[in-house]
Structure 1
């Protein structure tokens, strides 16, 4: 007898439908859902007893649940079939904050899932997740990592040094943040073993908060129990940026995404990902606004005549604010092609703002952003050619590419805890001899980094120093000077903090840019200095780029 029929024998209520996919209530706040391939028992909070391949895939682990902002896990009050077709049912679980849906096809190993907001209010994080049998799912896979999860014993033997971060006897670190990645660069994430795999596949990312630089957690080993954790964080304005909350509108939908089960094959999951891309937007979603979509096309040209090739383009909130902090509506990301053209397909209709910035490459010298408000998407919108204003001042030197990341610097990527401490305390960069590849991704330790350069002639009285940061974690402090004259300081009083530097983020946190007028350059040798005069372990400044130009 299969596990499904054992569960049927325990049922206290009749089946809603005789088809393969089913919802069965077994108590006042207990339900069983699934099909002939799998089924799970859902309680008021946790989904347990996940039967697949005739075995329980959860075992002693916590199971499946949904939560907002920490361990504020949702409590399910009722469940019903809210929509169905010839070969699927849509089961909605109702809580005070919103409804979580499982769309179960008769022949699918897994289920589509989505969440509809009712009363979440102001939140920074919304997630669903599976905590699964660690013996059956020993490995984790993201587009950046595919390897065994750290062992539970190794975590227990290590010393906790900060939030979910443990130092082993040999000085290495174990942390769930090493498994983070950028949400719009993902294909599929999951945990797997020799015979079973459990995966999250997102064919669209329009319901994720933020822009290209949005990053969050994926999979890890639960440090308190050893569970294999498969995370699905769909709203995050906290982990790798300045923490903000956003007020969620009634009826907002996160998803649908696919939770997919297989025999542990990553190549099969990759094929399934490609298949889901071709199906999206899903026709079975019973929501008129979901199906109301248009497109946006256009091109970007710099005011100096160049095409904005390879620029990052973001379609976000219509009220202009930092793209990374946006998390109320739906968001779309792309890059311009070699001729500066961009396009967005299947955009939900509504009001948007358009944002663009350099992503390096041919326009790596551009440090300004492009913004345009009042972009109304109804059907197919052609914005034609948009002119992006850029300064034309003569550049004296530049270190790094303006792309809001630590691209090209020493220790830039991948995610790894504690790398900021490996940067030198004192360092000299000589323009004309040193290259950007010599610069370090982070300044953290007490000391001074000097940029030494020559100006054969003073072409203008003043110069402009552009300091672009890819992130900042307090309470490190940095003083900037030109030929021993202080230009200003960067610290917790004038730079908002993010957690990237101490949570394994070596590429970006929250972007900041500052400009300083320099009036004391001289013919011959000049020195611009960056002095860290307040130190906090693993905190500091992530560098994007530094440029000096005549003002």
Structure 2
């Protein structure tokens, strides 16, 4: 495999549609991350993903399937080099483990035969309005860090029993939610609960006794010692996947007719029945008026409303509540 990889692009291909090495181009540079609530300086991140894909909106590379993409990862200094790129017009995109959101460079890049383009130092500023009040999960576009149950003994795939990193590759895990929560739904308490044990890897409908399904409402309980009623707080919700689902968010009143936020009907990735741990990435940034919070105990209600099948569900990547920006940063 190493020999074959080093020999690509091949020189023996006779087709005009397969450009040789000297007919391709290269792009290199450095990517830094700027989040002043994490570090006072721009940060190089080892293993950030940087790629060229057809021109489009931020994150459009996820849904592009008719043309070519070329990706690499950064080193410990944030340096990257994308080699052997076909001629054409591209945008440069990136995403970084440990930070939410997507990066896209505004400049279009035109690759010509033999070109060697230095894009210089690029700086990605992830969405951030204020300090982190609390967070659930790890922003890595995967639900793997959450609680994945043991499989039903009737459906065990023995290939993965000794592979904890592949525990999700078992049939029927979605049904275990109803067994763990036969009546009420998941309740997660900030400061007490552990997302690796107490946050189910997918918010799926619950199977009822008549074999139909019903939507589920998860609760996130947290305390705020001080509330600024006139300020705006920010709720960041990153989803690792969604399939014909709808997430509605309410605060401190689960029966309020109109939710604070709804995604609407989203997703067709079917990652859950295909034993996956992520599909397409979704990021929602929700403004929350400080007047909606209480000093002391508060609760977010996350309702997945769609329930025509067991697979209308979402997988979370990461959730964060940010306080108002008071100007106090690292």
Normalising by structure 2, we get a TM-score of 0.75
Matched with 1:510 is: 280
Deviations 1:220-239 (A, max 9, x none): xxxxxxxxxxxxxxxxxxxx
Deviations 1:76-109 (A, max 9, x none): xxxxxxxxxxxxxxxxxxxxxxxxxxxxxxxxxx
In the aligned structure 2, how far is the partner of 1:287 from the partner of 1:374? 28
Runs of 4+ displaced beyond 4 Å: none
User: Does the alignment pair 1:482 with 2:215?
Assistant: no
Which structure has the larger Rg? 1
Q: How does 1:370-385 map to 2 (within 5 A)?
A: 370-372=103-105, 373-378=107-112, 379-385=115-121
Report the CA distance between 1:483 and its aligned residue: 1.1
In the aligned structure 2, how far is the partner of 1:416 from the partner of 1:324? 26
Report the CA distance between 1:523 and its aligned residue: 1.4
Report the CA distance between 1:308 and its aligned residue: 4.2
Report the CA distance between 1:286 and its aligned residue: 1.6
SS of residue paired to 1:534: coil
8 Å CA contact retained: 1:456, 1:524? yes
User: Does the alignment pair 1:389 with 2:125?
Assistant: yes
Report the CA distance between 1:420 and its aligned residue: 2.4
RMSD between superposed Cα atoms in Å:
2.2
Matched with 1:222 is: none
Deviations 1:249-274 (A, max 9, x none): xxxxxxxxxxxxxxxxxxxxxxxx22
SS of residue paired to 2:5: helix
SS of residue paired to 1:351: strand
Q: What are the ranges of 5 or more consecutive residues in structure 2 without an aligned counterpart?
A: 36-40, 149-164, 206-214, 325-330
Distance verdict in 2 for CA 1:299–1:455, change over 3 Å: same
Distance verdict in 2 for CA 1:358–1:454, change over 3 Å: same
Task: With a CA cutoff of 8 Å and minimum separation of 6, indicate the structure with the bigger relative contact order.
Answer: 2
In the aligned structure 2, how far is the partner of 1:468 from the partner of 1:497? 16
Number of aligned residue pairs: give it. 270
In the aligned structure 1, how far is the partner of 2:84 from the partner of 2:232? 48
Q: What are the ranges of 5 or more consecutive residues in structure 1 without an aligned counterpart?
A: 1-272
In the aligned structure 2, how far is the partner of 1:395 from the partner of 1:499? 32
Q: How does 1:41-440 map to 2 (within 5 A)?
A: 273-287=1-15, 290-291=19-20, 292-304=23-35, 305-309=41-45, 310-320=47-57, 322-359=60-97, 364=98, 366-372=99-105, 373-378=107-112, 379-390=115-126, 391-411=128-148, 413=166, 414-423=168-177, 424-425=180-181, 426-438=185-197, 439-440=199-200
Q: Which has the higher strand share?
A: 1
Matched with 2:243 is: 473
In the aligned structure 1, how far is the partner of 2:63 from the partner of 2:322? 30
